Amino acid sequence: MTLLETLPKKLGSSDSWVEKGGVHWLAPCPLSVRELCMEMNVAKARFVTITAYQLPKDEGFWLEYHWDLDGQLLGFPFPLAGNSIESIYDLCEAVDWIEREIHEGFAIEFTGREYEPLLLREGDKLGVNLREPAAPNKPVSGLSGQEEVKK
């Protein structure tokens, strides 16, 4: 059996991987994100990224953690009822910038770490870059697009 096949059992799951959309998913993940990260370090998997989703209304957020194991992309979803989750920065250095970007873009708090100054450089508001609707494009003249064309 390959490491990929034996990994769900090592992670304490009775389920096996579900291959969907180019990713081997293990959902729900039986471990906390920190426990998962420690297991990924043991398996020598390479951290790839975290994808954050804002759920509709006030349902919170959905984070997907991705690791690469010998070319196979692994995915572990973590639903967030609130807006905080434990940081894994002290366990996995590679997570630093993406945790900071999600913190700034979605105002999600990764607990147990300190943040460097803003990565995205848009004032001091968190979530401003990705959560607020983009302002409509207006020419420098302040006229609407059609009026600008007429002019």
Partner 1 sequence: MSYKIPMGPYHPALEEPYKLDLICEGETVTDAKLHIGFNFRGIEHLAETRNYIQVIALMERVCGICSNIHTLTLCQALEGLTGQTPPPRAQYIRVVMAELERLHSHVLWAGIASKLMGFKTMFMTCFEIREKIMDVLAAISGNRVNYSMNRIGGVNRDIEDPLAMLGMIEKLEGEMMKTVIPIFTTSSTARSRCAGIGVLTLDKAISCGVVGPTARASGLGQDLRRAAPYAAYSELDFDVPVEQAGDVRARLFVRALEIMQSCQILRQALTKMPPGEISTNDEKFKFITGTATSRVEAPRGEVMYSVSWKEGSRNPSRVHVRTPTFANMPAVRWMVMGARLADTPLIQASIDPCYSCTDR
Q: Please give the C-alpha separations between residue 69 and each of 30, 48, 90, 136, 142, in angstroms, as whole numbers.
A: 19, 10, 21, 42, 52
Q: Applying CB under 8 A, which part among 9-17, 29-37, 82-90, 119-127 lies near partner 1?
A: 119-127
- Asked whether position 121 contacts partner 1 by CB under 8 A, the answer is yes
Least distance in Å: CB of 63 to partner 1? 11
- Which of 47, 61, 78, 110 is the binder for partner 1 (CB under 8 A)? 47
Q: Which residue has the tokens 């905080």?
A: 84
- Asked whether position 70 contacts partner 1 by CB under 8 A, the answer is yes
Least distance in Å: CB of 15 to partner 1? 19
- Which of 42, 134, 140, 149 is the binder for partner 1 (CB under 8 A)? 134
- Asked whether position 94 contacts partner 1 by CB under 8 A, the answer is yes
Q: Give the span between the Cα atoms of 10 and 39, in whole angstroms.
A: 8
- Residues in touch with partner 1 (CB under 8 A): 20-23, 44, 46-49, 51-53, 64, 66, 68, 70-73, 75, 92-94, 96-98, 116-122, 129-130, 134
